[in-house]
Each structure stands twice: as C-alpha cells, then as structure tokens.
Chain A
Amino acid sequence: MTLRRLFASIAVFRLLSRKTISAVMVFALLKYGLKGRYRPRPDFRHAADLKPSYDVVIIGAGGHGLATAYYLSNYHGIRSVCVIDKGYLAGGNTARNTAVIRSNYITPESVRFYKESVELYRDLSDELDYNMLFTQRGQLTLAHSDATVRTFRMRAEVGKHCGTNIELVDRKQIREIVPQLHMPEEHRSPVLAGLWHPDGATGRHDAVAWGYAARAMDKGVEVHQRTEAQCIVKEGDRAVAVETNCGTVHAGNIVQAVAGYSSVLAKMAGFRLPIRSYPLQAMVTQPLKPFLDPLVSSAGLHAYVSQTSRGELVIGGGSDPYELYSTRSTLDLKESLIGHTVELFPFLARVRLLRQWAGITDMTPDYSPIMGESPVRNYWLDAGWGTWGFKATPVSGKRMAECVANEKMPAILEPFRLARFKTFDLVNEMGATAASH
C-alpha cells in the first residue's frame, strides 16, 4: 500500500526537478531495502524449504517438467506440486535447442501428437500471458536423393490426411520460397525436391519454461533449484519418495522429466530404458540483416538454418558420434556444420560465429519419446525426447498432467508407451527427425 503511494508521489515529483526525484527514489529504495519483507518478483517465487510431502513431485525443471506442473495446477486442481532441478530453471536442453516447431512426421500417431503441440503453441502467449515470440514462418526440407523424395511424398500424404499444412514442392517452387538458396544443377547430389510445411514455426525457448513456471507458481506450485534427486525410495513395487541433497520428500506420484539424464534416474528407480545419451551441438552467428524467413533444412547435408528475430543465424545438425554426458563442444562438429551450411548459402562463408554449445540428448531407437507408465507404480516417465522434444513441450505437459491426475494413460500417449519395445511396436521417426529436430 505504502509502496503504491510512493510510486504515485514519484509520478508527481516527475514534474519537479531531477534532484527532487532522485531524492524520492533514494528514500523509496531505502524504505524498500529496510523492509523486512520484499515484494516477490512475479515471474519467480522462491519457495521456502522442501515440505515433507506433495501430491506430485516432478524431477527436472525444464520445459516438460514445468508444463506438466502448469497443467496439473491449472486444469486438474492439483496444486500440491513441487518441481526440483539439480541445476537451475531451464538450464538443460530447454534453453539449448534450436527452437524448430513442426508436425511433419511420417506416422499418423506422431503427426496427430505433434500437431496438437503446434496448435497449443499458437495460443500459448495468450494462455500464459507471456510473449513466446511464436512465429509460423514455415519449414522447408530439401531432398537430395530419390529415396528421400519418396519419403517426403509419404510424409505429405500422411500430413494432409491428419489435417496439417504440408506439400511436396519442386525446384522452381523452392526458388520462390527461398530465393537465396544455392541450388546448382551440376552437383554430386543436387536438390531434387522439397517438403514445404507452412505450419513450421519457431519461438523463444526460455520464455516457454519461464511462462509455464510463472503461471504454475501463481497456483502454488513450488520450484526448487539446486535440488538434486539422488535416490528413489520404493515400498514394494511403488515409488513413495525422492531423496535429494535438500532432504527427503514424499509424493503421491513422481514424474521424471530429465532429458539426457533419463537413464540415470531410471537406474535410481530400479529399471533400464531403451535410451542412449549423446551430445547435440548447435551454434549461432553474428546478427545479419533479415533475409531468411522460413526454416531451411537439408536431409542430405544434415544441417539446418533459421534466422532469429534478432537477425542471428541459428545452425544445427546431427548428433555427436558417440555417447557422452558432457556439454563440451567440438571443432569437428563446427567444421562439418559450417561446411554444410555454406553449401546451402555460400555468401555466409565470411560471417562470424558468436557461440557454439551442446546439450545432452536422450536418444531412443525409433526417434520417438517414451511417455507414461514405468515398471514402478506411481512413477511416470517423460523421457526419450532426444533432439526433438522442444516442439512437444505443450502437448507433453498437457498429456502428462492428464496421465498423472487420472493415473491412466491418455489414448494419444499409448503409441509412446515404454512397453512398445517389448512388443516390437516401434514408432519409427528416424527419417523425419535426423535432419531437422
């Protein structure tokens, strides 16, 4: 109350001399500083110590964990939720990815799932009252071989059948979509055709995590950073608590959403997963004048490029060649990514790189996620997101919340259950994922 009055008086003093204003500001600051209680920053509320128990404990404060907390607290009335992270909010892959959002997969199961996510993204800024800078600029993928053209045709047909915007385009149309693209005909593997996906989009990845966190915290969800899950406590076949470096916390249900560390957590809970952790690297150039509207990727060159709203070019490609739990970046990857990007846009050869980084990705054999039930009761999986999970953040959060609240797998998640590997019902998305995540 007093603060509001103070701000009002500042407004009045604005009309007076600068000196007076700074005196008032100093006074206001002093008063604020001497107050016993601070007004919390609306985006992040620091929780007190961990409580002894919650209805739901979510391990991992990346986009997936936070979105699950948001939908649980805002749509299912479950507000006794705690999200713990061994590092800091969105310090994992959520703020390391290249922000490609799309639904042009090859199986109807995947297309339906990712389409729901793209639709949720479209309204997310309004839903969370947080600017996601979501822009649907379309995504163009290039085919350099007949085999790829055949799979593009199939993806276009499946996509149309499921109601997404997608079509096969020829070289002339590609030139119209991205005039700057270098497409020599005399080439060992010339561009033959493209897959044009007008629904393709990009957004601000850290805002996704912060937006979900802010609106979940409004409803009482607690986020505990630097709180590492170290052991999953079980009673019989049921998970009951998580031991952390900040104490033990009991939970009605536990969700693991830890991306690259999925196998490490599963081991704590007593089972193995069909997951291998590989670094995935990306990099960004100095800002340039805007010239590239759509997202461009090449299935043959294993490189993809987009231009951010700040003008930087974001460049990504394939995973590292062997398994590793480290976010170091390498010269090898830098060389190959640059080489391929310069083949697509030769005029970028002299542009400077600003940053290169890596995230640890949880790769599955079929390039599809693992969601829902685990071998341990009350312990739920949101894993196997590999190089493709940013685009799925909203739908995963929504459906994982539904799954945990009802303790039952929603139909849309069924294809992605862990048990598919026992019955050989794999959802193969390798071809639709490896070139552009």
Chain B
Amino acid sequence: MKIMTCPLNGPRNISEFHCAGEAVLQPDPRDLSDADWADHLFLANNSLGVVREWWCHTPSSYWFIAERHTGSDEILKTYPANEFFRERVDFDAREEGA
C-alpha cells in the first residue's frame, strides 16, 4: 500500500486520493490569443523530475498541493494550497458584446 500524507487527514492509502495534474497559474483568458489559450489547455510539461501537483483527498473533498518525483514516485512534501497560491485571483466578470 502506498501512503500519501494529507495535510488535513494525515497518512492515508493513496487510493483515497485523486491527482488533478500539475499546479500551474491560470493565465487571464482575456489577454490570450486563441492559440495561446489552446496551448494552455493542451500542452503539458510532463516533466521527469520533481513536480508540484494538485491532489484531492476524495472522501473529505480536501484539495492540497503535493511535491512528487515522477521518476521514483517519491512524495517529498504535501501542504495546503494557500502556501502556493498566496494571492487571490479576481477575474472581473466583464460582459462581452451585451
């Protein structure tokens, strides 16, 4: 059994978690060309090395960040998301062509 340490629930079986991919900052869609938006949607670093990822403890629905080596599968660190996303991002809802 592989163990992941949830910042909220402590060490649990990794089958209780869901990985949502690399944690990247979302660009502001209003400043992007269609091509850049397509890049953001589809392209991936897919790095071989230590990556910072979104994980969720499914039974408690708690989202956090984990640092994991994608070659050895070693989980180096887990911490609450606000340690990575320090600032609140506000996209003002601008009406288009109303």
Chain A residues close to B by CB (< 8 Å): 261, 263-264, 267, 272-277, 321-326, 328, 330-332, 365, 421-424
Query: Given A332-B15, A422-B35, A326–B43 Cβ distance below 8 Å?
Result: no
Closest 6 CB pairs of A and B: A263-B46, A322-B19, A274-B42, A272-B43, A421-B42, A325-B48
Query: Given A422-B38, A424-B38, A325–B44 Cβ distance below 8 Å?
Result: no
Q: Distance in Å from the Cβ of B13 to the closest Cβ of chain A?
A: 9
Contact string, B60-76, partner A, CB cutoff 8 A, digits 1/0?
00000000001111000
Q: Complex formed: what's the CA distance from A272 to B1 in Å?
A: 34
Q: Complex formed: what's the CA distance from A248 to B21 in Å?
A: 35
Contact B42 A321 (CB under 8 A): no
Q: Complex formed: what's the CA distance from A155 to B18 in Å?
A: 32
Query: Given A264-B48, A272-B44, A323–B70 Cβ distance below 8 Å?
Result: yes
Q: Distance in Å from the Cβ of B5 to the closest Cβ of chain A?
A: 16
- Partner of A273 from the list B15, B19, B44, B71 (CB cut-off 8 Å) is B44
Q: Complex formed: what's the CA distance from A423 to B38 in Å?
A: 8
Contact B15 A323 (CB under 8 A): no
Q: Complex formed: what's the CA distance from A275 to B45 in Å?
A: 8
Contact A275 B44 (CB under 8 A): yes
Number of interface residues of B (CB under 8 A): 22
- Partner of A263 from the list B1, B38, B45 (CB cut-off 8 Å) is B45
Contact A326 B71 (CB under 8 A): yes
Q: Complex formed: what's the CA distance from A423 to B33 in Å?
A: 12
User: Which residue of chain A has its CB nearest to the CB of B15?
Assistant: A332
Q: Determine the chain A residues whose CB is within 8 A of the CB of B46 once the complex forms.
A: 263-264, 272-273, 275-277, 323
Contact A421 B38 (CB under 8 A): yes
User: Which residue of chain B has its CB nearest to the CB of A275?
Assistant: B46
Q: Complex formed: what's the CA distance from A184 to B19 in Å?
A: 35
Q: Determine the chain B residues whose CB is within 8 A of the CB of A322 once the complex forms.
A: 19, 53
User: Which residue of chain A has its CB nearest to the CB of B42?
Assistant: A274
Q: Distance in Å from the Cβ of B41 to the closest Cβ of chain A?
A: 8
Q: Complex formed: what's the CA distance from A326 to B46 in Å?
A: 13
Q: Distance in Å from the Cβ of B65 to the closest Cβ of chain A?
A: 14
Q: Distance in Å from the Cβ of A328 to the closest Cβ of chain B?
A: 7
Interface SS of chain A = loop
Contact B73 A328 (CB under 8 A): yes
Q: Complex formed: what's the CA distance from A273 to B45 in Å?
A: 8
Contact B45 A272 (CB under 8 A): yes
Q: Complex formed: what's the CA distance from A422 to B41 in Å?
A: 10
18 contacts between A and B (CB under 8 A): A272-B43, A272-B44, A274-B42, A274-B43, A274-B44, A275-B44, A276-B21, A276-B44, A321-B19, A322-B53, A324-B71, A324-B73, A325-B48, A325-B70, A365-B42, A421-B38, A421-B42, A422-B35
Q: Distance in Å from the Cβ of B22 to the closest Cβ of chain A?
A: 8
Q: Complex formed: what's the CA distance from A117 to B18 in Å?
A: 37
Contact A326 B44 (CB under 8 A): no
Q: Determine the chain B residues whose CB is within 8 A of the CB of A263 once the complex forms.
A: 44-48
Q: Complex formed: what's the CA distance from A419 to B2 in Å?
A: 39
Restricting to B1-43, which residues have a CB under 8 Å from any CB of A? 1-2, 15, 18-19, 21, 34-35, 38-39, 42-43
Q: Complex formed: what's the CA distance from A274 to B19 in Å?
A: 18
Q: Determine the chain A residues whose CB is within 8 A of the CB of B2 once the complex forms.
A: 330
Q: Determine the chain B residues whose CB is within 8 A of the CB of A274 once the complex forms.
A: 42-44
Q: Distance in Å from the Cβ of A426 to the closest Cβ of chain B?
A: 9
Q: Distance in Å from the Cβ of A370 to the closest Cβ of chain B?
A: 11
Q: Determine the chain A residues whose CB is within 8 A of the CB of B71 once the complex forms.
A: 324-326
Q: Complex formed: what's the CA distance from A406 to B2 in Å?
A: 50
Q: Determine the chain A residues whose CB is within 8 A of the CB of B45 once the complex forms.
A: 263, 272
Q: Distance in Å from the Cβ of B29 to the closest Cβ of chain A?
A: 15
Q: Determine the chain A residues whose CB is within 8 A of the CB of B53 once the complex forms.
A: 322
Most chain A beta-carbon contacts within 10 A, residue among B70, B71, B73: B73
Q: Determine the chain B residues whose CB is within 8 A of the CB of A275 once the complex forms.
A: 44, 46
User: Which residue of chain B has its CB nearest to the CB of A321?
Assistant: B19
Q: Complex formed: what's the CA distance from A267 to B49 in Å?
A: 13
Q: Distance in Å from the Cβ of B42 to the closest Cβ of chain A?
A: 4
Contact B43 A273 (CB under 8 A): yes
- Partner of A326 from the list B21, B35, B47, B73 (CB cut-off 8 Å) is B73
Q: Distance in Å from the Cβ of A67 to the closest Cβ of chain B?
A: 25
Most chain A beta-carbon contacts within 10 A, residue among B18, B39, B46: B46
Contact A323 B19 (CB under 8 A): yes
Q: Distance in Å from the Cβ of A427 to the closest Cβ of chain B?
A: 13
Q: Complex formed: what's the CA distance from A423 to B37 in Å?
A: 11
